[in-house]
Each structure stands twice: as C-alpha cells, then as structure tokens.
Structure 1
C-alpha cells in the first residue's frame, strides 16, 4: 500500500536530508476553518458532526499527495490509502483510540466509525485493536478538544520519532461564527507551510462538498 520515493530524483530530497535528523523535525500550524455549513447540514440530517469532520479530513488527506508521505528506515514512502486513528472519551472521560478504515462514501464511513467508537470504548486502552494498529504508517492521528477555542497546540511525541504521520486536533465549534480551530502538525522534511495552506483549501472544499451532499 506504499511506493518508495527515489531520493536521487525527489525534489524535496535536500529538504528531507536537512530536517530528518533534527531533534524535533515537526512544525505546527493552528488555523480557523469554516465549518458552519457542515454543522448545519449534520444537525438537519441527524448525522454526527465529529464523524463528518473526520470523513472530510480523510478525503482531504487522500486527495493531497504531500500529506501521504511517510518515513521508514530513513526512506520516504508514498502511501496509497490513508486511514484514521481517532480519539473519543469513555464514561470515565478517559480517551480511547479507534481505527477508522478508508471508505468511499460517508454513509459507509459513518456506520463503521460508530462501531469503531463503541468497540474502543468497551476495551482497555492497550487493547488488541490498539496493538494491531499502533505503528501503521498509512494513517493520520486525530484528536478533538470540543471544550476549547485554542490558538495553538503541542503534542506528546516520542523522542526521535521520524515516521512523518500528520497529527490533527479539532477545537471548539463557534456556532455564532461558524468556525473552529484546527491544529495541523507535520514533518518539515516532507512538507512546508505552502503545502499546509494548500491542504487547508482542499479540506475546506471537502467539507463544503459533504455539507451539500447531506442537505
């Protein structure tokens, strides 16, 4: 499900070489995204706003090649299908991690996502599912802080982590403005700020398209 990049011809080879050995090669950008139409469409159709955001994010990651690059053994790979590791809270307000596979349509994704959430909540944190998905490169890590309208975020990251998996955090939706914060954390050897800006545009397009389909 991944193709190795030829570093001898890859246009980012020098950038990758420069950043890959830094103690912290990741950079983080916090943006406000327009989610008003999607929120209204979910409320009208009875769909989960969180799952809708995850699906739009999944679509965007599979539509924009730079966020599909990963690092393994100092080599760069291009993943074919990106999937999601997402968090949700159990009854004790402890987060659990769910695995949401790639899906073409929102109905299929939503159905599988609800099952994944229920499964994760019913199991210990270090479950068989957690152990089976931990370390997969063809994924993105997604969290949500629906209580906070934050303007920045930092992640707990193992020292020397070099897999290049993007991390996303959704914040509190402002119903008056129709916006919410989104923190994007990516490996600088694989992407620059220009690419993050382009990705945000793709995400907004996916959110608008999903909102239209739910009306």
Structure 2
C-alpha cells in the first residue's frame, strides 16, 4: 500500500471537505442497473465465476479514480494507490456470513486464483471475521444474489466511518435477452460528488460491454 499525503493548502477539495465533514456531514448513495450480459456470457464461456470477476473489475476501476481512495492516517489525509476488496463469505450450512478480503492484483487470473484460494481456505471458518488482518486499504463490496433491489443504502450508527466507497450489487434480472444487475454506490460527499460516481458507472458499463479487454 502506497500512501501519498494530501496538501490541504493546494487540494482542490479542501473547502468541500471542510463543509461536508464539519458544517454539514454528508454522504450519498445511488443505485444503477448495469447490463452484465456480455461479461456474464464471457465468464460462462471461460468457466469463471461471476462474483470474483465482479470484485476484480470494480476494484480495478475504483483504483483509477483518486476521489475514491482517500483515507486518513492519524491526522493526515492522503491518497492510496489501490484498494483491497473486503467482502462477505456466505455459509450455506447456517446462512451466516463472515468477513473476508483478497489482495488485489492488476492481473485478472492472479486475483481470481487468490480469491479461489481464500474461499477454499476459509469456507468453513464461521464467525464475524473469517480472514484476519484486514489491511487499511480495504473497502466494502458485496453482492446479494437473493434480491433485486431499486435502492440499497448501508447505514451506520456512528456516522460515515471513512471516505472509501461501499458497493453492493443485487440479483440479476433477465428481460428481452439482456441480463441486468442493480449496483449501489455509497460515498462520503467530502471526497466525491455525483459527477465522480457517474464517471465510475460509465467506465463500469464500458468494461462490462467489452470483457475481452480485461478478461485475459
């Protein structure tokens, strides 16, 4: 993990950061239906699971937008160079979940195999946390395959815990031969605006439409 300090004297978001953390603490959430038809078909053809591919692609795209990689170390704000997906491992035997993470790698097959190794190692590890020692660059991302939703907003009783995004996808729907999936994106307004989130979804849909560009 590389941490690059932010100089508040020259940071373009300095005034926005102060406003949305001190004067009006605010986060926001949007949910967008994305078309996963091409990617789903490509993964089926190459015998890959959808969930780890989803983790990889979202993490890859988030890591290209510095607005989504701001954390605080002590009193210092700074940018990370990449993030680590933190997700839930579902246990079929008792329908509980356990916290997991897999180190990101820019190579799809390397990340994919790391995910499979983690899943095999911790599948029978019950409890709130299955894989310990989650790194500081971890962000929350999940997929709820049992429910297609129009809106999903994660809530915390202690305010927004950090400035990294929280992402949740839902159940597929198939209509007129197209497969769509709702994706919820939550972010602290101190570090990002609607424009930045719209850019993410634009890039996400472009990548989903052309899996040959990242599915090696």
Measured after TM superposition, the shift of residue 163 of structure 1 is: 1.6
Unaligned runs of 5+ in 2: none
Whole-angstrom distance in 2 between the partners of 1:55 and 1:201? 17
Counterpart position of 1:142: 141
Normalized per residue, the structure richer in helix is 1
Per-residue Cα deviation, 1:4-28 (whole angstroms, up to 9, x for no partner)? 1111111110010011136852211
Aligned residue pairs total 212
Unaligned runs of 5+ in 1: none
Counterpart position of 1:43: 44
* Contact 1:137–1:165, Cα closer than 8 Å, also in 2: no
Tell me the TM-score normalized by structure 2. Answer: 0.89
Whole-angstrom distance in 2 between the partners of 1:11 and 1:73? 21
Whole-angstrom distance in 2 between the partners of 1:72 and 1:21? 18
Measured after TM superposition, the shift of residue 169 of structure 1 is: 0.3
- The answer to whether residue 100 in structure 2 is matched with residue 98 in structure 1 is yes
Distance verdict in 2 for CA 1:212–1:162, change over 3 Å: closer
Whole-angstrom distance in 1 between the partners of 2:214 and 2:69? 26
For the aligned residue pairs, the C-alpha RMSD in angstroms reads 2.1
Whole-angstrom distance in 2 between the partners of 1:22 and 1:50? 39
Whole-angstrom distance in 2 between the partners of 1:72 and 1:188? 19
* Contact 1:71–1:162, Cα closer than 8 Å, also in 2: no
* Contact 1:30–1:151, Cα closer than 8 Å, also in 2: yes
* Contact 1:19–1:25, Cα closer than 8 Å, also in 2: yes
Per-residue Cα deviation, 1:167-186 (whole angstroms, up to 9, x for no partner)? 00011112333211000000
